[in-house]
């Protein structure tokens, strides 16, 4: 034990430059209910999850290349005015830079601090969702009021809302563990919070973000131990609510009909236009693609090729092989983040575990929806491909979420049996 303690002190001095420099102190259970404090080694001494980091970097780099490829012809479109061919590339690279800085800062925050901040962050997200609806404040694009102009970049409060609801739901379940078997006391307060967020999102409108938030919230409630009967009752109510919204919304109904037959004369130039050209792009790619930069559909045929339909350009330029590699990468990413959450729960860090698994649901479900839309398996829905599609707010919050997962992994390693003194 003395040798291990000496090694720990030497590592601490090596990475921090002085033995008396402050370090995090974390509780470690020794046996039964007895806890004692242990010093946390720096992340580079413990070793962060290198595979997770490199997969994320690979997706970000591939996304940067594809955003450039998909947007290179946009200067020819009068809708965007006089912009340079690398306009969207530079903006996406700037968003990645801001995201990396935000991720580094997020990693420095302990999970106990995130747990304390969760309700306040949720309130901040609500305020921003209200602010974006104020005329003259929120930026209107294609009839939707979803962005707050911040000079260098436009910020989308719905992206912050996904992260804030995730933290709030995990914090809520930790606080309500004693009443999780009682429907009204365990579920209704959380349902009310999600309902308020939903009303604000549908006013923008942004039904895609609302669906993701509902899935995250319900997933965390289920993983947190809510009774299975209550969970399936909630699921039935949610499905019924979405079906009702679609039934009473003419343009949403039209989108469903267009999804069922996108190449018909009625829909090919209307609500089925994006889907039909997305399928044409993927069909052109066949097995190995037409080659990087050689997509035809991105040349003003496929709308939003650099955002919601980036996967279609990938399919055209890299073919089935490219799409398959991308699917494998997101499956692996989702599984690895889920494992980190499971490790945290085994260490009795329930909040951290629920947060990590919530991030896994966020990344996995949104990627699933985006891919399903691009492949024609799901109706068209405005959701970007995580970590890859153009969009400053989305990339920023994706990187912050990944940084929080890495922080959870780091704290797991500090508290694991291998690091106990």
User: Residue 154 phi/psi, 5° resolution?
Assistant: -95, 135
Same domain for 171 and 251, yes or no, is: yes
Evaluate if residue 7 carries a pLDDT over 90: no
| Torsion of Cα atoms, 25 then 26 then 30 then 33, to 10° | 120
Q: How many CB atoms are closer than 10 A to CB 265?
A: 8
158 touches 146 (CB < 8 A): yes
Please give the structure tokens belonging to residue 267. Answer: 């829909």
Q: How far apart are CA 96 and CA 103, in angstroms?
A: 10
Same domain for 110 and 256, yes or no, is: yes
Bridging pattern class, strands 144-149 and 154-155: antiparallel
Same domain for 10 and 91, yes or no, is: no
Same domain for 234 and 382, yes or no, is: yes
Tell me which of 216 and 381 has the higher pLDDT: 216
Q: Three-state secondary structure along the chain?
A: CHHHHHHHHHHHHHHHCCCCCCCCEEEEEEECCEEEEEECCCHHHHCCCHHHHHHHHHHHHHHHHHHHHHHCCHHHCHHHCCCCCCHHHHHHHHHHHHHHHHHHHHHHCCHHHHHHHHHHHHHHHHHHHHHCCCCCCCEEECCEEEEEECCCCEECHHHHHHHHHHHHHHHHHHHCHHHCCCHHHHCHHHHHHHHHHHHHHHHCCCHHHHHHHHHHHHHHHHHCCCCHHHHHHHHHHHHHHHHHHHHCCHHHHHHHHHHHCCCCCCCCCCCCHHHHHHHHHHHHHCCCCCCCCCCCCCCCCCCCCCCCCHHHHHHHHHHHHHHHHHHHHHHHHHHHHHHHHHHHHHCCCHHHHHHHHHHHHHHHHHHHHHHHHHCCCCCCCCCCCCCCCCCHHHHHHHHHHHHHHHHHHHHHHHHCHHHCC
Same domain for 202 and 90, yes or no, is: yes
pLDDT bin (cut points 50, 70, 90) of residue 203 is confident
Tell me which of 12 and 109 has the higher pLDDT: 109
The reported pLDDT for the residue numbered 43 is 54
Same domain for 141 and 2, yes or no, is: no
Region 208-214 average pLDDT: 91
The reported pLDDT for the residue numbered 225 is 74
284-328 pLDDT, tens digit per residue, is 999 999 999 999 999 888 888 899 999 999 999 999 999 999 999
Q: How far apart are CA 415 and CA 26, in angstroms?
A: 8
The reported pLDDT for the residue numbered 42 is 56
Please give the structure tokens belonging to residue 351. Answer: 């909040």
Same domain for 35 and 114, yes or no, is: no
Count of structural domains, the chain: 2
Same domain for 90 and 156, yes or no, is: yes
Q: For residue 235, what are the contacts with CB-CB under 8 A and spacing of at least 6?
A: 218
The reported pLDDT for the residue numbered 140 is 80
Evaluate if residue 418 carries a pLDDT over 60: no
Same domain for 284 and 366, yes or no, is: yes
342-375 pLDDT, tens digit per residue, is 999 999 899 999 999 999 999 999 999 999 999 9
pLDDT bin (cut points 50, 70, 90) of residue 267 is confident
Same domain for 335 and 374, yes or no, is: yes
The reported pLDDT for the residue numbered 349 is 92
Cut 0.75: pTM above it: yes
Evaluate if residue 163 carries a pLDDT over 90: yes
Tell me which of 216 and 37 has the higher pLDDT: 216
Same domain for 75 and 21, yes or no, is: no
Evaluate if residue 73 carries a pLDDT over 70: yes
pLDDT bin (cut points 50, 70, 90) of residue 29 is very low
Domain ranges, residue 240: 50-419
Q: How many CB atoms are closer than 10 A to CB 65?
A: 15
Evaluate if residue 341 carries a pLDDT over 60: yes
Same domain for 114 and 64, yes or no, is: yes
Region 224-253 average pLDDT: 78
């Amino acid at each position: 034990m003395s040798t291990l303690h000496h090694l720990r002190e030497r590592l601490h001095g090596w990475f921090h430059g002085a033995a008396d420099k402050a370090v995090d102190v974390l509780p470690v259970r020794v046996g039964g209910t007895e806890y004692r404090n242990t010093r946390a080694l720096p992340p580079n001494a413990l070793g962060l999850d290198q595979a997770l980091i490199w997969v994320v970097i690979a997706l970000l780099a591939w996304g940067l290349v594809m955003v450039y490829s998909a947007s290179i012809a946009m200067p020819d479109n009068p809708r965007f005015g006089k912009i340079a061919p690398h306009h969207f590339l530079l903006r996406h690279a700037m968003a990645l830079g801001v995201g990396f800085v935000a991720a580094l800062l997020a990693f420095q925050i302990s999970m106990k601090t995130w747990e304390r901040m969760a309700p306040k962050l949720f309130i901040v997200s609500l305020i921003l969702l209200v602010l974006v609806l104020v005329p003259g404040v929120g930026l209107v694009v294609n009839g939707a009021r979803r962005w707050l102009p911040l000079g260098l970049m436009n910020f989308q409060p719905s992206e912050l809302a996904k992260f804030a609801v995730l933290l709030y739901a995990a914090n809520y379940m930790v606080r309500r563990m004693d009443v999780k078997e009682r429907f009204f006391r365990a579920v209704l307060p959380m349902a009310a919070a999600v309902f308020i967020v939903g009303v604000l999102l549908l006013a923008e409108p942004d039904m895609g973000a609302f669906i993701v938030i509902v899935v995250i919230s319900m997933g965390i409630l289920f993983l947190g131990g809510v009774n299975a009967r209550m969970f399936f009752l909630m699921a039935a109510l949610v499905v019924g609510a979405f079906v009702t919204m679609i039934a009473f919304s003419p343009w949403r109904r039209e989108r469903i009909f267009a999804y069922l037959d996108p190449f018909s004369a009625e829909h090919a130039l209307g609500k089925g236009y994006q889907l039909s050209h997305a399928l044409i792009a993927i069909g052109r790619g066949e097995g190995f693609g037409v080659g990087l930069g050689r997509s035809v559909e991105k040349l003003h045929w496929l709308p939003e090729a650099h955002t919601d339909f980036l996967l279609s350009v990938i399919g055209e330029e890299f073919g089935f092989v490219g799409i398959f590699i991308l699917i494998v990468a997101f499956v692996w990413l989702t599984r690895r983040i889920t494992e980190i959450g499971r490790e945290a729960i085994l260490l009795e860090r329930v909040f951290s575990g629920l947060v990590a698994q919530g991030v896994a649901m966020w990344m996995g479900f949104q990627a699933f929806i985006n891919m399903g839309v691009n492949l024609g398996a799901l109706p068209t829905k405005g959701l970007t491909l995580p970590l890859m599609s153009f969009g400053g707010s989305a990339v920023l919050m994706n990187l912050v979420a990944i940084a929080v997962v890495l922080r959870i992994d780091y704290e797991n390693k500090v508290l694991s049996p291998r690091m106990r003194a």
